[in-house]
Structure 1
Amino acid sequence: MITEQSLVVDLKNEETRAKAFETLLHTYKERLYWHIRRIVLNHEDTDDILQNTFIKVFKNIDGFEGKSKLYSWLYRIATNEALSFLTSKSRKLGIQSQELQNKMVEDLKADSYFEGDEIQYKLQAAIATLPEKQKLVFNMKYFDDLKYQEISEILDTSVGGLKASYHLAVKKIEQYLKDS
């Protein structure tokens, strides 16, 4: 089992970079895919964003200082790429971000890659109503099972603030599901 530190060393070394990057892809591709997918809800967009994420990681690995865990850095890049994509998409369509969220949830019904049932669909609709930060915190805690400290590193926010955001998100989702 390769350690995170040795993987970073190998990624920064010209001679071992290609093999190390293969290991990085193998280790994190699926987790990052699902993290991005929960933000953008669409398979094709997720694939594009995931590819952009790994390109950015490859180009910027020399700048990784190791102040956080490697996967926290990867999650931060993936999160930023996904949020930038959504901002760009809402601008292109000339709609507000909440309208885009509603449209993305509606599009889930026709998405052949969405394997959820009606309950999963309602949960996604409820999550779409949350403010961006609450949505991210909820997804990372509920689906990715990350600890608050890990989420704190990824989002660069205090643990206390994250706990409050998660609590509010859960309450809003519960209310949405009761009302629908």
Structure 2
Amino acid sequence: MEDKELIEKLKHAESRNFGFNLLVRKYQEKIYWHIRKMVIDHDDADDLVQDVFIKVYKNIDKFRADAQLYTWIYRIATNECLAFLNKKKRKFLLPIGDVEGELTAKLESSDYISGDEIQLKLQKALLKLPDKQRIVFNMKYYDEMKYEQIAEITDTSVGALKASYHHAVKKIEEIMTAD
């Protein structure tokens, strides 16, 4: 179903629940993996996905059709990830390195992360990046989004995103070749 049809169903009371069900089915997996790459933990990602879709449901009337629906949902998911990570840092009064260490431990013990040694090394390198650089890298590298789409989601200029991605790639290269 096209996004336009989904939005129509969501905006009418009699078809809202059905439309929401279709929306969740269409975007849940993409949003889950977007969030999961940031928070690493499966349970945290599940909770955040639920929070994202609750916000979508409550705020669908505020959605302006000048943006694409998935862009709007990704923006909500990105903001939820950043808020979650910042809250985690404040809650435990942890410096960034300690949060990185905690996420690395979860990454290493996760049953949901599979892959070879190089993939695990890349994931650990990503955890060393600042949150916003990691988001840009994930969207560009894993989700294969265009800079224009990422700019819409993050409300950042294309030039700044290109610079962030370039810096992220350089840092990852340095980390990966250091060992």
Residue type of the alignment partner of 1:40: V
Partner of 1:142: 141
Count matched residues: 179
The reply on whether 1:82 has 2:48 as its aligned counterpart is no
Partner of 1:173: 172
- How much does 1:93 deviate? 1.4
The reply on whether 1:70 has 2:89 as its aligned counterpart is no
- How much does 1:117 deviate? 2.4
Report the identity percentage. 50
Paired with 1:122 and 1:60, the residues of 2 have a C-alpha distance of: 39
The reply on whether 1:44 has 2:27 as its aligned counterpart is no
Paired with 2:119 and 2:168, the residues of 1 have a C-alpha distance of: 16
Paired with 2:100 and 2:13, the residues of 1 have a C-alpha distance of: 42
Paired with 2:58 and 2:133, the residues of 1 have a C-alpha distance of: 30
Paired with 1:116 and 1:25, the residues of 2 have a C-alpha distance of: 28
Q: Secondary structure at the match of 1:50?
A: helix
Instruction: Render the CA deviation track for 1:61-119: whole Å, top value 9, x for unaligned.
Output: 11111221100110010111111111111222120234202220122111122212221
Paired with 1:104 and 1:73, the residues of 2 have a C-alpha distance of: 27
Deviating more after overlay: 155-164 vs 110-119: 110-119
Shift in alpha-carbon separation, 1:45–1:98, aligned structure 2, 3 A: same
Residue type of the alignment partner of 2:7: V
Instruction: Render the CA deviation track for 1:134-176: whole Å, top value 9, x for unaligned.
Output: 1111000001111111000000011111111111111111111
- How much does 1:7 deviate? 1.2
Paired with 2:45 and 2:98, the residues of 1 have a C-alpha distance of: 19
Paired with 2:156 and 2:143, the residues of 1 have a C-alpha distance of: 18
Instruction: Render the CA deviation track for 1:12-65: whole Å, top value 9, x for unaligned.
Output: 111111111111011100000000000101101000000011011101111111
1:87–1:97 CA contact under 8 A, matched in 2: no
Give the TM-score taking structure 1 as reference length. Answer: 0.95
Partner of 2:33: 34
Runs ≥4 residues deviating over 6 A: none
Deviating more after overlay: 48-57 vs 128-137: 128-137
Residue type of the alignment partner of 1:14: A
Give the TM-score taking structure 2 as reference length. Answer: 0.96
Q: Secondary structure at the match of 1:109?
A: helix
Partner of 2:126: 127
Partner of 1:117: 116
Paired with 1:95 and 1:160, the residues of 2 have a C-alpha distance of: 32
Residue type of the alignment partner of 2:36: R
